[in-house]
Amino acid sequence: MDAHIQVNNLNVYYGRQQALKDVNIEIPKKQITVIMGPSGCGKTTLLKTFNRFLELTDGAQITGEVLVDGENIYDREVDVTEVRKAVGLLAQRPSPLPMSIFDNIVYGMHIHRMKRDRREYKAAVKHYLEIAGLWDEVQKRLHDPATSLSIGQQQRLCLARGLAVEPEIILGDEPTSALDPISSQNIESRLLDLKQNYTTVIVTHTLRQARRLADYVIYMYLGEVIEAGPAKEVFTNPKHERTKQYLEGLF
Amino acid sequence: MGMRKKHLQKRHLVELFMKTIMRVSFVIVAGALGLILWTIISRGLPALTWDMVTQVPKGGYYMGKEGGILNAIIGSAYLATGGTILAILLSLPIALYLKAYLGDSKWGGCVRLSLDVLWGIPSVVYGAFGFALMIVFGLRASLLAGIIVLALIELPIMTRAMDEVIRRMPEDLEHAALALGSTKFEVALRVVTRQMLPGIVTAVLLAFGRGIGDAASVLFTAGYTDRISTSLMRPTASLPLAVFFQLGSPYPEVQQRGYAAALILTIIVLAVSLGSRWLSARLNKYTVK
Ligand SMILES: Nc1ncnc2c1ncn2[C@@H]1O[C@H](COP(=O)(O)OP(=O)(O)O)[C@@H](O)[C@H]1O
Ligand SMILES: [Mg+2]
């Protein structure tokens, strides 16, 4: 497997409570990996180790390695802002920045000094809004507050904003759970379109969404990875009893 | 038909009763405000000449019938502006410290409670306290002493208002910016500031409004003078005291000048609050609620 992210002996503790137990997994390049498992099993925690968001939580401790393209992102020499630029995050609830739709997209490009002049920024804003499928809806109101958009539109804006800093990896923590069915479907089809170009890791609590999106599946239970493998194999022929029970909807 | 209005049902009566109470209290408040404004305007307007706002008092110290109160207008502007700036320099760090280190802990609660108590203390007490401090430091009644006392008065209002603004800052917002690879400084400068600025502006102008209208605190500390103040170490005139002294005069003409001074003060406060509303509405356009 051509692994984009490789996790070695990863343990995470919140205070004394252990949230991840000796996780060893590989996440394939330019495919959609879905992390599933019952609530509280550590899906969000695992995702947060990929963009070093765990260090924003007081009392969270981490041991082990997370390699992105073979480089340990927890290495002392690594710049956390570069990690987060390369590993984008689509949060559970969209959170637009307190600025216009246009400036929301520009923000990331601006702090990373990615464009030279206003013309380039304008072109980039259009480009990424088109990718997120939002351009037609907002092209006439680019300078309205981002909060004036519907929740579904806001989540697509957040997707566009994340893509604008040119990440290689997209993380999504139940990115459709706050959305209505049509908006959810919209985000799902964006993610499917994008997978040729990005490595995508999505946490989901709905099995059906997992089946629609997944190329590769990680099943977790109580802080441990129980099973990981290509979606076809895991869904049709789970090796582990717990995975089987989960897929049959027993809990 | 079970859908007709049942007027005599208890819950409808309660509703009617509460509505009536609310209307009555609104009328009382609006009436009182109207009456105050009417008094100030009807008595002050005739004396509000061009001279009043462009000249200093002529003859008979501040109790004279000639000249204007430019000294008090400028003095109040200096006092309130200086006090507000000093209060910002103290309040912002306290509010940030409350958020960053004390949070909702027991100590945080203690600090907030103390500030709320300080808010409620009458300003004459601040004046007396300021006066006591001045004696200790050998300071005479001066613009500087007035500014310091006004800053102390404004401090609790400003700090608590800022504290509320900072506490209402959604954490998601910082995370969203960090997830794009911002440094913490960029988050503070480009995101947090934008989100909080309208609230901070409101807090500052609220405190300014309290500072500029306060008479008792500057009475002991800033003194009074007929001249336009030019030095931090010399006494200064102020609008609230111009009102206070002139209204205390037995001469109707001087009293009328007192009402005119009150009118000017009211107009300044009104302008500041309208300005702050306009500004915060403008800044608020993009904030996340
Ligand atoms: N900030 C935190 N402090 C303490 N415990 C936490 C924190 N976040 C999560 N946990 C605990 O870690 C475990 C895994 O949580 P999480 O990763 O959020 O699970 P999931 O996303 O699968 O629902 C849970 O038992 C949860 O209670
Ligand atoms: Mg979760």
On average, the pLDDT of chain B sits at 91
What is d(CA B176, CA A56) in angstroms, rounded to the nearest whole number? 12
Which two tokens mark B83?
Answer: 């006090």
Q: Which residues of B touch A112 (CB under 8 A)?
A: 181
Which residue out of A13, A17, A201 has the highest number of ligand 1 atoms within 8 Å of its CB and is therefore the one to mutate?
A17
The CATH label, of 3.30.800.10, 3.40.50.1110, 3.40.605.10, 3.40.50.300, for the domain at A3-247 is: 3.40.50.300
Q: Which atom of ligand 1 is nearest to the CA of A173?
A: 21
Instruction: List pLDDT tens digits, range B83-138.
Output: 999 999 999 999 988 887 888 889 999 999 999 999 999 999 999 999 999 999 88
Cα–Cα–Cα angle for B168, B81, B129, rounded to 5 degrees: 90
Which residue puts its alpha carbon closest to atom 11 of ligand 1?
A: A19
Instruction: List pLDDT tens digits, range A177-232.
Output: 999 999 999 999 999 999 999 999 999 988 999 999 999 999 999 999 999 999 99
Who contacts A134 (Cβ-Cβ below 8 Å, separation ≥6)?
A: A153, A156, A157, A160
Who contacts B176 (Cβ-Cβ below 8 Å, separation ≥6)?
A: A91, A95, A96, A97, A158, B191
Among B172, B178, B181, the residue with its CB nearest the CB of A82 is B181
Instruction: List pLDDT tens digits, range B23-32.
Output: 999 999 999 9
Weakest-pLDDT range from A20-24, A63-67, B73-77, B205-209:
B205-209
Please tell me the predicted confidence (pLDDT) of residue B12.
85
What is d(CA A191, CA A132) in angstroms, rounded to the nearest whole number? 9
Q: Is the pLDDT of residue B10 over 90?
A: no
Which residue puts its alpha carbon closest to atom 14 of ligand 1?
A: A42
Ligand 2: centre distance to CA A96 (Å): 20
Inter-chain contact A165–B175, Cβ cutoff 8 Å?
no
CA nearest neighbour of B225 among B93, B62, B87: B62
Please tell me the predicted confidence (pLDDT) of residue A73.
97
Q: Is the pLDDT of residue B7 over 80?
A: no
B191/A contact by beta carbon, under 8 A: yes
What is d(CA B143, CA B187) in angstroms, rounded to the nearest whole number? 39
Cα separation values, B149 from A89, B93, B128, B144, B242, Å: 50, 19, 10, 9, 18
What is d(CA A19, CA B176) in angstroms, rounded to the nearest whole number? 23
CA nearest neighbour of B72 among B269, B245, B226, B272: B226
Among A85, A95, A108, the residue with its CB nearest the CB of B173 is A95
Weakest-pLDDT range from A23-37, B48-62, B67-81, B205-219:
B48-62
Stated pTM of the model: 0.81
A95/B contact by beta carbon, under 8 A: yes
Yes or no: say if A162 and A134 are a contact pair by the CB < 8 Å rule. no
Q: Is the pLDDT of residue B233 over 70?
A: yes
Q: Is the ipTM of this complex over 0.90?
A: yes
CA distance B288 to chain A (A): 5
pLDDT < 50 regions, chain A: none
